[in-house]
């Protein structure tokens, strides 16, 4: 029996009971749709997180002041007074893999504008901050070298802070806000960045000149952290080692277990997060795959019913010369066709579903060709796996018994 | 000689050791071109004999030669091939595929013989039984007599040596039954061997030879001198 005729026969078998075939297929449609949608959402989440972290500067090293132990009591991270502006300058000057440095001093403070007030993070920064942190002023201007040299009281606001202090129609630039009761003039608004991995929300911050922060606001001579832009992403480990060496010499530390600073590598954070979202994708896909198996059981159930219902037909086919494999293939192809048709519809549904969820969640969903192939392969495999038993059962029917079946 | 059985025995054993002997040491030969009716009350073994003749079942003991082939011990697939090429079946309940046109029903045996599917053969077979106007009708749109004629066309399409008919008029009224018997008689005149299983004497009297079975044994085997002739105008081309 040739393939074309077998296909025609299977199509006829499916079309005889349209509603039942459609309902059976629905199990596969939902299963495949769920797999495609879940995997694309997971992939979308991964690339969203990845691009956000890369937006923070993918070749960024952060040197945090360490947690000193005072009389056996461990203090908070960054509270050590060991990092200085001189350290930052030395890094830029003597480590070849370091392209640029941004020394930073940040603390929380109360900020007031007329009747509005908020508590936010105040960061003293240098002009290099914009480039190193890949974080730019959207309106007005950023802190200049001149602002730092003269310890000017000027401030650049993050979007969140600007929204809290100023009402919608109001122009913040040029207005005077008070940080710890010291008046500052707003000279710019930063672009929207969102929260980054590990660090706090970068939109909820106010940037002021580093010298102003040190001498006028916080009265501190040390830095909280130094952000380092490494020349290229593949030199991260080398740069990290060189910085550690230099700072140990400068801080006169010989035992590496007693270092008073910590280096955070953005690439490591990225890897960790990618692993997490990868696991998430796997988990979502796995749950969706279970629904595909449930759909497959539905196929098997209906094929068994169909074989019983069509016992006389099978008997007749055998009487007129159908061999075992003819009957086997007829039923197997029927179940595979059901599953593949369900797979096609499921890919469509999964595509629509992932686009809809992507819109709602606000991140792009990624439909990979490989996940579509995988869905097809799996729905075909489900068809074979769950169709083979009913098909074997049909092929083994004795023609006499089958013809007599009422 | 088309069919030859010697010492044919068929025993059905159900699970709990109860054996039913359906055929006891039957000896029989049927020549090419014969028209044989097998009669007997229910349980006489006539269906069993027909299943063995039709290569649907195997004897427990004895030998069965069909068209020179020793059927005993052939595999299921080999038997399917013999049925496909050499035997046409007509059943009491027609056994047509529902929601399938007359033409597609007739084509069915051709689908299984691994050769080029010649639709013209199926049309000719339907023409032969007087259904030229009904190629695309589904079984539900046909009368009982017409459905049985589609079934006969399906039996003819492979040009078999033997036609096995199991109570072919059992589900039909007398007039349609006569039409069917007329077709069988015409086919026999053209040289087809026909074996008919029935429990109605009236139907059996259309055959040239009547074999009577009782309790699994052949109790009589007679050639009819004055058989009934059914002629229904307009059925055959």
B106 Cα to chain A: minimum distance (Å):
11
Q: Is the pLDDT of residue B100 over 60?
A: yes
Whether A376 maps to a domain, the answer reads yes
Question: A224 and A87: one domain?
Answer: yes
Segments of chain A with pLDDT less than 70: 1, 56-58, 67-80, 194-200
Domain boundary among A259, A281, A316: A259
- Report the C-alpha gap between A171 and A167 in whole angstroms: 9
Judge if A298 and A175 occupy the same domain: no
User: Are residues A115 and A245 located together in one domain of the fold?
Assistant: yes
Q: B34-43+75-223 is classed in which CATH architecture? A: 3-Layer(aba) Sandwich (3.40)
Token pair of A146 as six digits:
């001149």
Report the alpha-carbon distance of residue A86 to residue A89 in Å, rounded.
Answer: 5
Following DSSP, what letter does each residue of A163-223 receive, concatenated?
HHHS-TT---TT-EEEETTEEEEEEEEEPP--B-SSS-BTTSEEEEEHHHIIIIIS--SS-
Domain contains A266: no
Element (H, E) at A85: helix A85-94
A99 in any annotated domain: yes
What's the pLDDT at A17? Answer: 85
Find the farthest-apart pair of alpha carbons in chain A and give their distance in angstroms, rounded. 105
> How many C-beta neighbours within 10 Å does residue A352 have?
13
Which residues span the domain enclosing A306?
Answer: 3-52+272-404
Verify that A205 and A347 share a domain, yes or no.
no
Residue A198, pLDDT score = 45
Domain identity same for A228 and A303: no
Residue B24 has pLDDT above 70, yes or no: yes
Q: What is the pLDDT of residues B206-235, one digit of tens each?
A: 999 999 999 999 999 999 888 888 876 444
Read off the tokens for B99: 């929601």
Per-residue pLDDT reduced to its tens digit, B142-177 = 999 999 999 999 999 999 999 999 999 999 999 999
Number of domains in chain A: 2
**For position B237, what pLDDT does the model report?**
42
* CB within 8 Å: A321 and B100: no
Q: Identify whether residues A47 and A170 lie together within a single domain.
A: no
One domain, residues A367 and A308: yes
Q: Is residue A11 located within the same domain as residue A100?
A: no
Give the C-alpha separation, B180 to B174, whole Å. Answer: 10
- Contact yes or no for A322/B112 (Cβ under 8 A): yes
Residue A50, pLDDT score: 78
Instruction: Tell whether A227 and A338 lie within a shared domain.
Output: no
Q: Which residues of A touch B114 (CB under 8 A)?
A: 1-2
- In this structure, the answer to whether residues A86 and A226 fall within a common structural domain is yes
Which stretches within A310-398 are classed as H helix? 311-319, 324-361, 369-395
Q: Quick one: A96 and A180 in the same domain?
A: yes
pLDDT of residue B1: 86
**Distance of residue B191 Cα from the nearest chain A Cα, in angstroms:** 21
Residues of chain A numbered 196-255 and touching chain B (CB < 8 Å): none
In a domain, A63, yes or no: no
Does residue A254 sit in the same domain as residue A285? Answer: no
Asked if B92 is an interface residue toward chain A (Cβ–Cβ < 8 A), one would say no
Q: Residue A397: list chain B partners with CB under 8 A.
A: none
Q: Which residue has the tokens 């048709």?
A: A341
Cβ proximity of A42 and A277 under 8 Å: yes
Q: Is residue A72 part of a domain?
A: no
Decide if A119 is inside a domain. Answer: yes
| pLDDT tens sequence across A225-261 | 999 998 887 888 889 889 998 988 888 888 877 788 8
Compare CB distances from A321 to B51, B95, B113 and report the shortest one's residue: B113
Which residues of chain A does B51 touch, with a Cβ-Cβ cutoff of 8 Å? 400
């Amino acid at each position: 029996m040739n393939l074309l005729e077998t296909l025609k026969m299977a199509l006829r078998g499916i079309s005889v009971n349209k509603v039942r075939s459609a309902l059976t297929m629905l199990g596969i449609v939902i299963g495949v749709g769920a797999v495609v949608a879940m995997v694309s959402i997971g992939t979308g989440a991964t690339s969203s997180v990845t691009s956000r972290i890369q937006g923070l500067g993918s070749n960024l090293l952060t040197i945090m002041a360490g947690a000193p132990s005072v009389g056996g009591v461990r203090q908070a991270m960054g509270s050590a007074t060991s990092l200085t502006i001189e350290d930052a300058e030395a890094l830029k000057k003597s480590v070849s893999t370091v392209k640029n440095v941004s020394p930073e001093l940040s603390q929380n403070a109360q900020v007031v504008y007329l009747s509005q007030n908020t508590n936010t993070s105040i960061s003293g920064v240098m002009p290099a901050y914009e480039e190193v942190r890949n974080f730019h002023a959207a309106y007005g201007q950023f802190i200049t070298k001149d602002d730092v040299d003269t310890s000017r009281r000027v401030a650049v606001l993050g979007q969140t802070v600007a929204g809290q202090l100023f009402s919608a129609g109001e122009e913040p630039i040029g207005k005077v806000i008070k940080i710890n009761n010291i008046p500052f003039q707003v000279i710019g608004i930063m672009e929207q960045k969102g929260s980054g991995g590990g660090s706090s929300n970068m939109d909820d911050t106010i940037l002021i000149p580093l010298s102003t922060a040190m001498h006028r606001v916080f009265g501190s001579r040390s830095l909280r952290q130094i952000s380092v832009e490494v020349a290229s992403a593949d030199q991260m480990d080398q740069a990290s080692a060189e910085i550690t060496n230099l700072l140990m010499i400068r801080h006169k530390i010989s035992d590496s277990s007693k270092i008073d600073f910590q280096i955070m590598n953005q690439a490591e954070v990225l890897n960790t997060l990618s692993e997490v979202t990868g696991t998430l994708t796997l988990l979502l896909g796995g749950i969706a795959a279970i629904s595909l198996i449930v759909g497959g059981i539905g196929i098997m159930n209906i094929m068994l019913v169909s074989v019983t219902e069509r016992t006389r037909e099978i008997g007749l086919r055998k009487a007129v010369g159908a061999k075992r494999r003819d009957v086997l293939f007829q039923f197997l192809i029927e179940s595979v066709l059901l599953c593949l048709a369900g797979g096609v519809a499921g890919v469509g549904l999964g595509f629509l579903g992932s686009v809809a969820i992507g819109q709602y969640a606000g991140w792009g969903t990624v439909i990979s060709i490989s996940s579509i192939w995988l869905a097809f392969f799996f729905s075909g495999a489900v068809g074979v796996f769950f169709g083979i038993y009913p098909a074997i059962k049909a092929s083994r029917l004795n023609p006499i018994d089958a013809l007599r079946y009422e | 000689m088309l069919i030859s059985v010697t010492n044919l025995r068929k025993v059905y054993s159900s699970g709990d050791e109860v054996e039913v002997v359906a055929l006891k040491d039957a000896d029989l030969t049927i020549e090419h071109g014969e028209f044989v009716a097998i009669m007997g009350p229910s349980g006489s073994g006539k269906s069993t004999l027909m299943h063995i003749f039709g290569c649907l079942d195997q004897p427990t003991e004895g030998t069965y030669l069909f068209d020179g082939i020793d059927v005993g011990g052939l595999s299921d697939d080999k038997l399917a091939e013999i049925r496909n090429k050499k035997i046409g079946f007509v059943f009491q309940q027609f056994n047509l595929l529902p929601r399938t046109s007359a033409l597609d029903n007739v084509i069915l045996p051709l689908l299984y013989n691994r050769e080029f599917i010649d639709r013209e053969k199926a049309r000719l077979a339907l023409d032969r039984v007087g259904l030229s106007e009904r190629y695309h009708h589904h079984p539900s749109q046909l009368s009982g007599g017409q459905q049985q004629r589609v079934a006969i066309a399906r039996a003819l399409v492979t040009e078999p040596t033997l036609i096995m008919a199991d109570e072919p008029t059992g589900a039909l009224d007398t007039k349609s039954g006569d039409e069917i018997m007329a077709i069988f008689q015409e086919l026999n005149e053209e040289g087809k061997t026909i074996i008919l299983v029935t429990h109605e004497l009236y139907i059996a009297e259309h055959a040239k030879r009547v074999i009577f079975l009782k309790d699994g044994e052949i109790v009589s085997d007679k050639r009819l001198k004055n058989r009934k002739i059914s002629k229904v105008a307009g059925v055959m081309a």
